[in-house]
Amino acid sequence: MAIRKGKDGNWVVDISNGFDPITLKQRRLVRKGYKTKKEAIEAEHYLRSVELKERFYGAKITIPILYELLKEEDSINHRKASYINTQDNNYNKHIKDYFSKVDNVGKLTYEDIYQFREHLRQKVAKNSDRPLSTNTINKIMILLKKIFDVGLRKGYYSSNPAKLIKKLPIEKTKMQFWTVKEFQKFLSLFEPEEYNIKLLFTVLFSTGLRLGEALALTWQDINFSSNTIHITKSVYVNKGVTHISTTKTKAGTRRIVINKKLSQELQDWEKQQKHLLEQFTNNSLTLQVFQNSPITITKNAIEKQFKKIIERDNTLKKIRIHDFRHSHASLLINQGEDYLVVKERLGHASITTTIDTYSHLYPSKQKDLADKLDELL
C-alpha cells in the first residue's frame, strides 16, 4: 500500500520503484512524518510525478505540485534567474494562497478561473492603494495557464481551465520622453559631487540602455578605440539583493557605438575614478563604471537619487528612468533613423516590438504622397 499510518501516528508514503537489475530485489521510495493523510497523498503524487516520472490520468493533483513540476521544467530549459524570481513572486503573492484548499485541479472549471481573475481585479497592489495593473493581472493569468499546461502534458486531466480566458485589454498610456532641451535642463540640476550620476543619465539618454544594463557595465565593456559599449549583462534585484544576469533577451547582447563627446567624458571619468578608488582595488577595469566609492551603486539608490534631483525643478516634465529609453528612441527617429537602427540600439528581440512601441513617433508619409500626386496629376 502506497500510504499507511506509521507506529508514531504520522503518515508514511511507501512507493515501489521497480526492481534492482543486479539483485532483482524490489526498490522502494519511502518518505515519513506526514501529519495528515492529505499531506501524504500530495507527497505521493509529487514523488510519482517528479522523482519517478510517472504519468497517471485521473490523479488528484494540487497547484503546489504542478508548480514544482513547472520549476523543474524551467530549470531543465535553463530559464534566467531573474525570470524564475519574477515567476516565484507572482506565484507566492497571488496564486498559492488562493488555490491552497483545492485538492484536485482536475475539477476546476472555466468559471473558477474567471472568478480568480475577477478576484485579482479587486486586489490592491502591495505598498499601494491602487488595484493591480492590467498588465500584472495578464502576467499572473499566463503563469496560471502554464501551471495547468504542465498537468495536461503529464496526463493528469484532459483540458486546461485557463485556456479560454482572454487577456484583458491594455489601454496604451501616452508615451513620456524628454527632448534634448529638457534633458539639458535636467543636467543643470546636478551638484558637482553628483557627477557620476549625471554621467550615468547621460549614457542612458545617449544610448537607450536599460538601467540594469548600465549598472552592470565595467570598464572592460567599453572600447575607446572603436567608441563602442558591449552590453552582455544586466543587474536585477530579488528580495532586496542585487544580482547580475545575462541581458533581458538574446538581442539585448549588443554593441552600441557612442559619440566622441560621450566617449571623452567616460575616459576622463575613468581616470578620475581610478584616482578616487586606487587604494581599494588592484584592477580598476573591473570597477562598476559609475561608482564613486568602494560600494557599487544599486538600482534602488539611483531611483531615490533621480527622484530627489528631478524635484529640484517643478517645471520639468516628470518621467520615469525607463523613459530615457523612449527619449533616446525619439531622438533617433527625429534624426531620420529607421526602425532597424532603433531596434539594434535598444536591443529589442523583435522588430514588431519596435514598431508597436514607436510607430506613432514616425512622421506620416501621406502628405509627401499627396504632394507627389499633385505634381503628377
Residues assigned a catalytic role: 210, 248, 322, 325, 348, 358
Report the distance separating Cα 34 and Cα 42, nearest Å: 10
376 Cβ neighbours under 8 A, 6+ residues apart: none
Report the distance separating Cα 249 and Cα 349, nearest Å: 6
Query: What are residue 236's DSSP bridge partners?
Result: 243
Helix, strand or coil, per DSSP, at residue 56: coil
Q: Are 110 and 165 in contact (CB under 8 A)?
A: yes
Report the distance separating Cα 158 and Cα 249, nearest Å: 34
DSSP count for the chain of H helices, then E strands: 14, 8
Report the distance separating Cα 106 and Cα 116, nearest Å: 16
What is the rounded radius of gyration, in angstroms, for the C-alpha atoms of the chain? 27
Q: Which of 185, 195, 187 is nearest to 292 (CA)?
A: 195
Report the distance separating Cα 324 and Cα 341, nearest Å: 17
Report the distance separating Cα 169 and Cα 163, nearest Å: 17
Helical ranges in the chain per DSSP H: 37-46, 63-76, 81-90, 110-122, 134-154, 180-187, 195-207, 211-215, 260-277, 299-310, 323-334, 339-346, 351-358, 366-376
Report the distance separating Cα 210 and Cα 204, nearest Å: 7
Report the distance separating Cα 84 and Cα 63, nearest Å: 17
C-alpha cell at 20: 534492482
Q: Are 209 and 222 in contact (CB under 8 A)?
A: no
Q: Which of 148, 64, 54 is nearest to 106 (CA)?
A: 148
Report the distance separating Cα 122 and Cα 139, nearest Å: 16
